[in-house]
């Protein structure tokens, strides 16, 4: 009788346990998938990455911004390599954002205001192919949105928009001292005379 009761207790325990897992676990998985699916990445370059990084770090919905290099043939490029203008890479930022808060189209809208898309291989005093205007798309949807954005943007300028739209190549994060540069060096000359006025113009800083 004791053995029968123990077996009966074990059976009911198993049924309860399986039922509990069956009702809760998929819900948790679905919730986690929903959360992760809302996180997307964008890869853009618009001149010195100190500038574009500083802008996007202040945009709601942006989760992280990493300065780096992309678009050249040289493996593991350094800032010294980039500065020669011969490596083929552009200074870019990889933007991690919540698509529930800000869309890729809105990311590009900010990007268009954060730099001059009509100057070829140049942003202000920064001259060279490493400073080219570029949108590097991660999928077909981003490509479609980027081309539509460029077409609309072209209607706002007299000069042609020269922003290249290309598939995202391998991204190389820049050296640590480049990351969060404006936040760490707000009084440095470039930050004071180039980045801060840009942020004020965009209404991102008083």
- Catalytic residue numbers read 48
Cα–Cα dist 134/71, whole Å: 10
Helix (H) or strand (E) holding 45: strand 39-46
| φ/ψ of residue 16, rounded to 5 | -65, -45
151: which residues sit within 8 A by CB, 6+ positions away? none
Query: How would you classify the pairing of strands 90-98 and 39-46?
Result: antiparallel
20: which 2 tokens? 């509990």
């Amino acid at each position: 009788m004791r053995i029968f009761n123990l077996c009966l207790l074990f059976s009911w325990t198993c049924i309860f346990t399986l039922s509990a897992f069956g009702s809760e676990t998929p819900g948790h998985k679905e919730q986690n998938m929903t959360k992760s699916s809302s996180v997307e990445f964008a890869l853009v370059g618009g001149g010195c990455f100190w500038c574009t990084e500083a802008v996007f770090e202040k945009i709601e919905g942006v989760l992280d911004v990493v300065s780096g290099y992309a678009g050249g043939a040289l493996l593991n490029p350094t800032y010294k390599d980039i500065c020669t203008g011969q490596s083929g890479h552009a200074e870019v930022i990889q933007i991690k954002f919540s698509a529930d808060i800000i869309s890729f189209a809105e990311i590009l809208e900010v990007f268009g205001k954060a730099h001059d898309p009509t100057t070829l291989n140049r942003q202000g005093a920064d001259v060279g192919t490493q400073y080219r205007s570029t949108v590097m798309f991660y999928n077909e949807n981003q490509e479609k949105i980027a081309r539509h954005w460029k077409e609309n943007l072209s209607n706002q300028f007299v000069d042609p928009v020269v922003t290249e739209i290309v598939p995202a190549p391998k991204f190389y994060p820049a050296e640590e001292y480049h990351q969060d540069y404006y936040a760490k060096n707000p009084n440095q000359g470039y930050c004071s005379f180039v980045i801060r006025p840009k942020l004020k113009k965009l209404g991102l800083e008083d």
